[in-house]
Structures are given as structure tokens and as C-alpha cells.
Amino acid sequence: MNKKTIAIIGGGYAGIHAIKSIQKKVSKQEQFRLVLIDPRPSHVRKVLMFKPAVNEVDITVPWEKLFPESVEIIEGAVTDINHQTKTIFYRNNRQETGILPYEFAVVAVGSVIQQASPEQGGISLSNSEAAMEIRNRWQSDLRRALQLSDSVERKRLMTITVVGAGISGVETSASLAEQMKQYAQDIGLQPNNIRVHLINSKERLFIEGNKRMSAKLEDLLTSMGVNVLHNTKAVQEKDGEVLLTTGEKISSGLCVWTIGLIPNPVLASWSLPITENGRIKVDESYRVIGKAGIYSIGDCTRIVDPRNGAEDTMTCKEATMQGKRLSKVILADFYKRKAPVHKKTIATYCFGIGEKKGLVWIRFLKMNVILSGKLGLYIRKLTWDMASLLK
């Protein structure tokens, strides 16, 4: 019997959870072939992108560790999908073109991290290479500061400005403050002279939560040595100064941009229906509109709870839950049964504040639950690991 192919395009959080869930749901007697297509040799733990910016750490997980058996890997990039002939066109990493016939295709190419334009200066925390560049820059700046007698220039070199105060910006600024202080102390500089500024365009941090959570989050950042500036945006970093929309200039050795996510731009070149902001259109069971046999989940998809119209945001928590539900949808469609529909998850947000602190906010039954300290950090680390199938 020929195995029917389920192709998963993209090995981010949504993709790997879809694969794992399908593996659990499908018995050995059912003849399905799982194929993952991704241009990278490993899964990238994107929520940990800030870690290589402060320490030498690997945030990738090899495919063979996640899927030691029963999953074929094609390292390459999809160029198009034809739903009428049920074929995927791709180019592998040796620049060879290929065609993959499928029974079901899952698009899970996720999002990419926004980058500031070259004219805006600084470094965007967009990938592991950029993170390592950030780490090398601030360490080099601190070593230079140690040799200087000019107090003004020394102060500039011991200052970093982080632009963008979402979860990534919060975790990046906290980790930078912590690790820069430790490095300064190790090489003979005064750690208390380290300055980290976090630029927030909104009136408070974590606008998705309540004001108590915002205040708690800012208090923790302040305790780490992070100065938060609200209601302003960065325009440009030039000649060692970060210009804000308020007209203020911050003298900084380095400007780091953490300005959010956008749906993967590759979608614009595929024959799939997308929204104005570049996300794939699907029904309540993740089926791509007008493209039978194709499903889409994760950051690249506009997913709405049919009960209340609430739209999923770009978080790994939501992507993992979509991946788990998708396996039930595919099997229901295959056996022509009624498929489950999307349900938005309980609002839960986690923040890692350096190596020793964490903060969790849960909105449940109209209650706001805040967990902090070691418990908050434990939950944060657990969510990181679960998102990458390491727990």
C-alpha cells in the first residue's frame, strides 16, 4: 500500500507540534508518510534569541533529536504549492529543484523578526548571527571603556539602548543589564555604571495585561538596572546617539532593535489567499480558504475563534496548541468525520527577567493571576522547553 503523504512546511513551534501530534494520533497500521520541509538543519528556539546576545549558547535543536524516526526531512525552501495537482515545488539546499506529491499539506512557516532599516543604524535582534554580533559589540565596548580616561566616552560605551518593549525587548534588556554588570565586574569596571534603556512606544509595559502586572514588570526591570522610557519611539541611531521622537538623544555604545514579528514574507510568492497584512486566510478548522487539502497554522495564519471573534496573536503558546488540534482536524477530514474547530487558549504570558527571576500573568475566569520569583522563572523555562518539545 502506498503511504499517503502529510507534508509540513516549516519546523518552527507550530510545525513541530503538528508533527508530534500527528505521530501520536496515527497508529502504525495507518499508512501515512510525514515529510518536514525546512531550509534549516535544525529547529530554532526563536523565543530564546536574546540568549546568544548575552552568553555563548546554542539555541537550536537538531531534527534527529526531535524526530529520531518516522519523519523525512527535506532541507530546502518551498517555491509554490498547487492544490489542484496536490504537489509542492521546492528547491533544496544544494539548489536542486524537486516536486513532492501530497495528500495533506500544512503551512507553518511562521513569522520573521522585523529589522530596522540600514539608515536607522544599530543592530536588529533578528537571528543568531545578529545576537552574537550584539554580544561581541557590548563586550568589546566594555573592554574599550576600561582603557579610557574620558569619563563621557566611558559612560557611552557602558550604555545600551533597546528599542521595542514587547516580550523580546523586556527579556533582552533584563539579560543585557544582568550580564553586562557581571562582565564589567569581571574585567575591573564598576558594574553600577552600566546603563540599559528600554524604549516603549506605549503608555505602560505589557499593555495586554492589567496595570498591576505592568507595574510589577517595570519594578523587576528597574531592580535589574533597566530604565524604561514610555510614550516614545526611536527614530535613528547615529554617531553613538539614539534619537527619540520626543527630541531626546541617548548617548549609547549600542542600539538594539526588538521591534516585533511579521508574517513570513515568502507567502506573497505562493498561490495562497492572504490578508492585507500577509497572513493566510483559513476557516475555523485551519483549512486554507479555497485550497482543499491545505492547512495553515502558526504566526503566518490569521486564526479566529468562531465563538467570539478573538484572533490569535503571534506567540509560541498559541502555535503549539494549534499544532496539537490540527492532527485531529486532518484525521477527521481523512475519515470524513466532523472536525474540531479552533478555540482560543487562556490568556497566559511569561517573562524571563535575567537568570534568576520570572513573571507569569494568567487571565482566568475574569481573574488576573500573577506568579513571580522562582516559581515564575520555573514556569517560564518550562514553557520554553515544552514549546521546543524538550519536555
Chain segment 348-359, per-residue pLDDT in tens:
999 999 999 999
Identify the residue whose cell numbers are 514549546.
Answer: 387
How buried is 294 (Cβ within 10 angstroms: 0-12 exposed, 13-18 middle, 19+ buried)?
buried
pLDDT digits (tens, 9 = 90+) for 3-56: 889 999 999 999 999 999 999 887 655 678 999 999 999 999 999 999 999 999
pLDDT at 331: 92
CB atoms within 10 A of CB 247: 8
Q: What is the mean pLDDT of residues 92-96?
A: 92
pLDDT at 365: 81
Grid cell locating 355: 537568570
Domains of the chain from N-terminus onward: 4-113+262-345 (3.50.50.60), 118-259 (3.50.50.60)
The pTM assigned to this predicted structure is 0.94
Identify the residue whose cell numbers are 511579521.
Answer: 262
**pLDDT of 301 higher than 60:** yes
Percent of the chain with pLDDT over 70: 99
Q: Are strands 347-353 and 357-364 parallel, antiparallel or unpaired?
A: antiparallel
pLDDT at 135: 98
Q: What is the mean pLDDT of residues 53-60?
A: 96
**pLDDT of 1 higher than 90:** no
Q: What's the rounded Cα separation, in Å, for the pair 178 and 9? A: 38
Residue 69: pLDDT band with limits 50, 70, 90: confident
Q: In what order do the strands lie in the sheet with 97-101?
A: 97-101, 87-92, 71-82, 32-38, 4-9, 104-107, 294-296
pLDDT at 28: 57
pLDDT at 364: 84
pLDDT digits (tens, 9 = 90+) for 227-267: 999 999 999 999 999 999 999 999 999 999 999 999 999 99
Q: What is the mean pLDDT of the chain?
A: 95
pLDDT at 27: 61
pLDDT digits (tens, 9 = 90+) for 173-202: 999 999 999 999 999 999 999 999 999 999
